[in-house]
Structure 1
Amino acid sequence: MDHDSSSRIVDSLREWIAAAAPGARLPSTRALAAQHQAGPVTVQKALRVLAAQGLVETRPGAGTFVRAVPTARPADYGWQTAALRAPRSPLRTVSTALRSTPNDVIAFHSGYPDRELLPERLVRSALGRAGRGEAALSRPPVVGLPELQSWFAHELRTVTPAGVTAPTPRDVIVLPGTQSGLSSVFRALAGAGGPVLMESPTYWGAILAAAQAGVRVVPVPSGAHGPDAEELARAFEETGARLLYAQPNYANPTGAQWSAPLGRQVLDVVRAHGAFLVEDDWAHDFGITGTPVPLAAQDDSGHVVHLRSLTKSVSPALRVGAVVARGPARDRILADRAAESMYVSGLLQAAALDVVTQPGWQTHLRRLREQLHARRDLLLTSLREHAPRVHVEHVPRGGLNLWARLPDGTDLHRLVRECEAAGVIIAPGTEWFPAEPTGPFVRLNYAGPRPAAYPDGARILGEVLAHQHG
């Protein structure tokens, strides 16, 4: 009976509250008890229910009042427009490659390998040892842990031909991932407003880093086998550029790998113009049917600035990389890095070094090569069978991606939206062009999760594309 009385009081007071103004005072407990012919305890129980629902509030010594419902006031950040002024260059949104997605979608967009392709056991063990060691509590040198500098230098030294002086550990600067290193290199070697030649298409992060550094990007056409050396020489002459950013091995997004003769030609062009080649060796650990040899191993005159990342191959949680540079260029890059981040976490450096010096690291790389080979071929086969309109001109010998041309007239943004609605996430190729795209392209990652779903993903892509083109 008490419960029924309390419920009736709650319902009655809800109607009263709905008609009352915010802040109105409810009748006293005694008055409500008399009105509803109930005891004070029953009335108090009803008021507690209304308070829990946020309809009333009790103020000790004053009574119970209708609670004012706060109205959301839109935030006004208009003042920042005047404070910030116009950006130096058009703002680029974060790449599709960095999107996090639910587990039930087919993710062809990611820029990182799936977790099952990482050396998880090595990483977990290394982090545990690093946490128990001196690196957990001490500040490392600005240039990086000496042991890690030596490892990066040794890796290049093992492929340096006779007659070429190999880099020393002093030439190595450890980075918190090579993305930040790109910004430092552009600022230090090109300077604000200076021209930087870039292959087109190229890594979206390099385009973003160039914009943040305030340099002027000059696109140089590049195809399935790299840029044309004569076209590159003409670009140097016309622009006066002293910096070329390129990915000679397994370029992102095209998967292109320069031949040995092209590498020598490009080095000759760079040397003839007294310029630098910024060699992004991001996919060093992702060879499939080839083994990459960095151009930095062929240069001892300081023309090649070499970027080497461990983030994708070891773990995205261990953002560790390095830049290898010689002479005054190295000093300028170091000065910029010290101003930017002072030093890289010693804990992460120690863990990364532990992973790559374990005997199991080479075993992992051999297994990774086999896994990438199988995934790449599975995606290629799936596209040929289910999405014949998707044209893959070049089968990469390494890396993580296929670069695919779509039929002329394809509405790329509509395609991306409709694929996502059907459960497939793809990355539009527009993100990889520093200027206007030369056609409708998509980048498809074959190192993502759920490879068993690749045929379904290709089928959906093919169906959406066929529907668009009738």
Structure 2
Amino acid sequence: MNNDSSWRALAESLYREFEALPAGARIPTHRQLVARFGASATTVSRALTSLNRQGLIESRPGAGSFRCAARPSLPHVDTGWQDAALGITPGTGVDLIPLRHHDASALGATLSSPGTDVVDLNGGYLHPDLQPLDLLSKALGKVGRRTEAWERPEAAGLPELRDWLATEIGGGLARHDVLITSGGQAALSLTMHAIAGPGDPVIVETPTYPGILAAAQGAGLRVVPVPMDHEGIQPGHLERALVQTGARLVVVQPTFQNPTGATQGEERQRELVDLAIRHGAFLVEDDFARYLTHTDAAPLARPLIEKDSAGVVVHIRSLTKPTSPNLRIAGVAGRGPVMARLRAAHMVDTMFVPAVLQHTALDVLAGPSWPRAVRVLSAALTQRRAATVEAIRQNLPMGTFTHQPRGGYHLWIQIPPGTSDRDLALRALQLGVSVTPGSNYSSTGGATDRLRISYVAAPSAADAAAGVRRLGLAIAERG
């Protein structure tokens, strides 16, 4: 072991060895471990420090290190009372307010980490090989040495970062029209519970991103699903839902929608904004995929907020998807009193986003390397999509999918009639590939005839294609 980064592997090996020792047994000295493993002194020190923190060993000054005595087991704790205590009683009367419901099962599925022998066609974040890690690392290292990175930032966010986002989003926005949040999911949750109250209806696309459904349930909102076509939510159905429910909140993903990949054109966008203005409803624009355009994509329509003359659009611009799951930075933009409401709710929930993270994001975005990083990612996504589509054509039944989005990171595919999406996903996992059942994107959770395939979490385009072949075997078995 000659690489200092191997300390974790060494710690795991030593844990297994020392765990078998009796309490009080002396463990080898630091020098003995260096000689035995051929590791650097730093590597051994970090491994031993980790075991010490875990309570496996203890250091006695002047005597050495020893196996700790086994910790006494905790007495059984009866937590059955918590079910009743955590239940929220909405009150009495005819019109009961729906319970706030924190169900993260579908959302959490997108964060699950399959085993090393499983091809991940489920995850929604870039594989490390696709992330601009050099750019992020250099920015964080540079920022970390600045004293202002450790000062308390303004609650609304760094002024310079808000300036950048205001210019990037467009629509004549200014600094005071932008709020910095801890990623797109936090922005969705904040927007829903700040604008609407428990029991209020919220209109969503169907199918839709599980994080939107989870945020709505967490805010106690009543989800009203509205059908989509190849350009997203359908205006006619949306207008009927607005009239029938009196909803004052609509949430859409206008660009490479998750999971369908649908993208709104200019005319559709104008129709939606006009409807929102006519009915006095806020239109939340979750623009999560703006920087995930492929090289063969047609020019995208500008954001909905550019077509808004009445302050109905609340725009969410996430920076996490094109960078790293750890750069949890998003901007929420809007005009008028709604921003005061959002800023107040954000302060109550979070107070502020850490300055060091905001400075890192700003250093990346405002630097000369950011446009190149976006182009590199665009080319890689195009290659992965092409390889995945070709594998689908060769290994899955005809008619599996009809839409090939020129952006985003996923494909929405159809499975054979009479096949359970969840059963198929489970069988696919047994064969070594993780995919997402379409029912995760349904507001009712009911079975669908769809699966979502993501091609960015696998190590390479070849791995994504191999995963599709395994999925083909799972489908063939059920045929």
TM-score (norm 1): 0.81
What does residue 122 of structure 1 align with?
Answer: 135
Cα offset for 1:464? 1.1
Query: Is the counterpart of residue 110 in structure 1 residue 123 in structure 2?
Result: yes
What does residue 458 of structure 1 align with?
Answer: 468
Residue among 302, 305, 310 paired with 2:311: 302
Structure 1: which 5+ residue stretches go unaligned? 1-47, 53-66, 161-165
Residue among 383, 398, 410 paired with 2:392: 383
Q: Distance in 2 between matches of 1:68 and 1:287?
A: 55
What does residue 86 of structure 2 align with?
Answer: 84
Percentage identity across paired residues of the two chains: 38
* Residue type at the aligned position of 2:132: P
Instruction: Verify the 8 A CA contact 2:210 2:440 in the aligned structure 1.
Output: yes
Q: 1:49 to 1:319 in 2, by over 3 A?
A: closer
Cα offset for 1:361? 0.7
3-state DSSP of counterpart to 1:311: coil
Instruction: Verify the 8 A CA contact 2:132 2:323 in the aligned structure 1.
Output: yes
Cα offset for 1:420? 1.0
Query: Is the counterpart of residue 217 in structure 1 residue 223 in structure 2?
Result: yes
3-state DSSP of counterpart to 2:332: strand
Q: Distance in 2 between matches of 1:455 and 1:139?
A: 47
3-state DSSP of counterpart to 1:279: strand
Q: Distance in 2 between matches of 1:51 and 1:287?
A: 60
3-state DSSP of counterpart to 2:322: helix
Q: 1:308 to 1:371 in 2, by over 3 A?
A: same
Cα offset for 1:264? 1.0
1:131-153 superposed Cα distances (whole Å, 9 cap, x missing partner): 01133320000000000000000
Cα offset for 1:401? 0.6
After TM superposition, the structure 1 stretch with the greater mean CA deviation from structure 2, 138-147 or 112-121, is 112-121
What does residue 48 of structure 2 align with?
Answer: none
Residue among 278, 284, 287 paired with 2:293: 287
Where in structure 2 are the equivalents of 1:194-205 lying within 5 Å? Answer: 194-205=200-211
What does residue 364 of structure 1 align with?
Answer: 373
Instruction: Verify the 8 A CA contact 1:219 1:435 in the aligned structure 2.
Output: no
Residue among 445, 455, 477 paired with 1:467: 477
Cα offset for 1:389? 5.1
After TM superposition, the structure 1 stretch with the greater mean CA deviation from structure 2, 317-326 or 403-412, is 403-412
Aligned length: 401
Where in structure 2 are the equivalents of 1:256-405 lying within 5 Å? Answer: 256-288=262-294, 289-292=297-300, 293-388=302-397, 391-405=400-414
Structure 2: which 5+ residue stretches go unaligned? 1-20, 26-68, 89-98
Q: Distance in 1 between matches of 2:226 and 2:192?
A: 17
Cα offset for 1:50? 11
What does residue 252 of structure 2 align with?
Answer: 246
Cα offset for 1:412? 2.1
Q: 1:229 to 1:50 in 2, by over 3 A?
A: closer
Cα offset for 1:81? 1.5
Instruction: Verify the 8 A CA contact 1:386 1:455 in the aligned structure 2.
Output: no
* Residue type at the aligned position of 2:146: G
3-state DSSP of counterpart to 1:343: coil
Cα offset for 1:76? 2.5
3-state DSSP of counterpart to 2:110: helix
1:318-356 superposed Cα distances (whole Å, 9 cap, x missing partner): 111110011011111111000000001000000001001
1:85-120 superposed Cα distances (whole Å, 9 cap, x missing partner): 265337341432110223332100001111122111
Q: Over aligned residues, Cα RMSD in angstroms?
A: 2.2
Where in structure 2 are the equivalents of 1:407-446 lying within 5 Å? Answer: 407-437=416-446, 439-446=448-455
Q: Distance in 1 between matches of 2:102 and 2:444?
A: 12
Cα offset for 1:294? 1.1
TM-score (norm 2): 0.80
Instruction: Verify the 8 A CA contact 2:102 2:214 in the aligned structure 1.
Output: no
Instruction: Verify the 8 A CA contact 1:199 1:219 in the aligned structure 2.
Output: yes
What does residue 160 of structure 2 align with?
Answer: 147
* Residue type at the aligned position of 2:443: P
3-state DSSP of counterpart to 1:258: coil
Q: Distance in 2 between matches of 1:73 and 1:281?
A: 49
After TM superposition, the structure 1 stretch with the greater mean CA deviation from structure 2, 451-460 or 191-200, is 451-460
* Residue type at the aligned position of 1:129: K
Q: Distance in 2 between matches of 1:112 and 1:305?
A: 24
Q: 1:51 to 1:332 in 2, by over 3 A?
A: closer
Q: Compare CA radii of gyration and give the structure with the larger one.
A: 1
3-state DSSP of counterpart to 2:369: helix
3-state DSSP of counterpart to 2:166: helix
What does residue 193 of structure 1 align with?
Answer: 199
